[in-house]
A and B are shown apart, each in its own frame.
Chain A
């Protein structure tokens, strides 16, 4: 009995040592699991010499509100690969959706003495004190998709251009259905990127003489499932709409399943969405799918472009308070079918513009493409 307990102590101690030993190994090995995902990138040619501080050792941090889910994993993959491409060390602070933790982690990133910080998503009220503290300490900060201009005007702002994403799709919708039509709308208020798309939608309604017959949608933990019955009811009372705009792919999915439940009404209604993923591509390209166009960006490419923006800012080639938008592309159902596109890799091959490798580019930065 006694001996077995002593043995347990020995095993405990040994396993702790083993744990410590493992951690040492992983950091020095650049080909660890995170960087060898399927979205491995290649890099563009470098012709210029890296300016200071990139002539020495550089460490940056990304402070992200949440890293869970495909989108954010791809985003981080892009960030990681872009940092590696320039030989920069990257610390990842992930608040797992907890805003208080994100504030603390921003403090920790600053305290750890990194040379530059990317802050991704979160509340302005939560992040502004930390962002301003970092800038005061001389640490350049690039923000992605936080409305922080008023309280931290010196941070560099970046975002996916939601206005362009909506504009491209709505232009296509106008081409397809013409003006003076009855249309439906699936969206919610209060979520920054969706609000930006909403502004474009309302302008398009006015400009094209479209009549909005219904406006519904529900943003929850299971958005698509919860939105479907709402769209279904709206369709029943407004069977004469010719097109529906659902500017978020979960809304688009909900709309598609509502159409499926109402085959007698659904015929001929065109659905215009937003975002892209492998699952979205499959849905759009499927036989009889009514999802005809979407606006797309590649999270890998955006993660990389944000990092390049930070590099430019750190090198003094981008001033405080600058704004950088990452443009989306239009993806239509016809395009997917003609080019036999089945997944994101096919789409990237057919549409290299998704890489946005010219955004925040410089001759000394090897831009990662996917």
Chain B
């Protein structure tokens, strides 16, 4: 394409503008459209509940973002969130321990899954997608072994006929149901993790090295980067973030729901992918992931208020993803930095 060598033309500039601001424009247009046509949409309580609804997807999406940055993809996040749900329920209901203990146990669980992924990928050299796929199935099944496949709830009858000694503590349930001022606590957690992720990825050497590894691991290695360490670190972060998402889920459900988290994987991957197109960056980034999650939240809330059924909404979610990918892959003149390793 020789014309690109002679500087940007007017057409190029229009195109760049579309790529850079198109996604944000779509979000703003949809938001405005729903706000104007559905009076209940833009009320503060409705917006806060939408943000709350979005928080788990966004947090899991941030974990995925880290793994996409290093050129991989963590398929085990949904199971890890589900594991967190079981661990929290068991700690409190079976062992009658405090909510704080449950939080610690859950975070250690997420860390352990992250380390397992890192071990399989970095040490055993199994491709990212395949290793995390295997771990996904293992965790999905293993988390149900100690509970015999049953949902753990306060006051449940155990196999020996006795009643479970513990229950979900008030404090633990506040993780999802509490507020900081008018803002629901999970929204605060989500925003804190977005800022943290943005800071690590964009403002620290770690983050820059992670992007470098994702762009060209061989070049990074030759430049003296300890590729394995940073590659593994991304999965550890992903595992911990997934367990934080699981904490919010289990406190929202109020019992150890065996199915919790299973539907989160694809949505989290989708919002992280949508996020690559924000501001035309063409690479996974924290704010993009947040915006992707918000757009999905806006579309789902708006369509529900307009009376659409769940299958329309799934279709709409897919279209959002495709439109976002059109912005970053088809329209962008910049080379896209994310291609998943297999």
Q: Residues on A close to B: CB < 8 A?
A: 1-3, 5-6, 8-9, 12, 16, 19-20, 23-24, 26-27, 34, 67-68, 89-94, 96-101, 103-105, 107-108, 110-113, 123, 125-126, 128-129, 190
Contact = CB atoms under 8 A, between A and B. Distances in A.
B179 interface: no
Contacts of A112: 40-41, 46, 305
Interface in B91-145: none
Contacts of A67: 309-310
Given A16-B29, A98-B260, A103-B253, 17 more contacts: A1-B1, A9-B22, A12-B22, A34-B309, A92-B307, A97-B263, A98-B262, A99-B260, A101-B53, A101-B263, A104-B49, A104-B52, A111-B48, A112-B41, A113-B43, A126-B257, A128-B254
Contacts of B22: 9, 12
Contacts of B323: 12, 16
Contacts of B176: 103
B331 interface: yes
Contacts of B52: 104, 107
B222 to A, nearest CB: 34
Interface in B256-315: 257, 259-260, 262-263, 301, 303-310
Contact of A123 (B11, B14, B253, B310): B253
Contacts of B30: 20
A181 to B, nearest CB: 30
Given A9-B18, A123-B153, A91 B37 contact: no
29 contacts: A1-B1, A2-B15, A3-B11, A6-B11, A9-B18, A16-B26, A16-B29, A16-B323, A20-B33, A23-B303, A34-B309, A67-B310, A91-B304, A92-B307, A98-B262, A98-B263, A99-B259, A100-B249, A101-B53, A108-B46, A108-B53, A108-B304, A110-B45, A111-B45, A112-B40, A112-B41, A123-B253, A125-B153, A129-B177
Contacts of B45: 110-111
Contacts of B37: 24
Contacts of A9: 15, 18, 22, 331
Interface in B8-55: 9, 11-12, 14-15, 18, 22, 26, 29-30, 33, 37, 40-41, 43, 45-46, 48-50, 52-53
B96 to A, nearest CB: 17
Contacts of B306: 23, 26-27
Contacts of A1: 1
A340 B183 CA distance: 61
A113 B305 CA distance: 11
Interface residues of B, number: 58
B342 interface: no
A92 B253 contact: no
A100 B253 contact: yes
A3 B14 CA distance: 11
Contacts of A99: 253, 257, 259-260
Interface string B147-162: 0001101100000000
B255 interface: yes
A69 B51 CA distance: 30
B241 interface: no
Contact of B309 (A16, A92, A110): A92
A12 B153 contact: no
B40 A113 contact: yes
A111 B49 contact: yes
Nearest to B18: A9
B14 A6 contact: yes
Nearest to B330: A8
A27 to B, nearest CB: 5
A300 to B, nearest CB: 17
Given A8-B326, A96-B263, A190-B150, A108 B301 contact: yes
Nearest to A20: B33
A107 B53 CA distance: 9
Contacts of A107: 49, 52-53
B257 A96 contact: no
A103 B56 CA distance: 13
Nearest to B40: A112
B259 A97 contact: yes
Contacts of B259: 97-99
Contact of A125 (B12, B46, B154): B154
Given A6-B11, A8-B331, A108 B50 contact: yes
Nearest to B303: A23
Nearest to B29: A16
A6 to B, nearest CB: 6
Contacts of A190: 150
B254 A125 contact: yes
B304 A2 contact: no
Nearest to A123: B255
A20 B304 CA distance: 14
Contacts of A113: 40, 43, 46
A67 B312 CA distance: 13
Contacts of A101: 53, 263
Contacts of A34: 309
B12 A2 contact: yes
B308 A23 contact: yes
A98 B308 CA distance: 18
Nearest to B14: A6
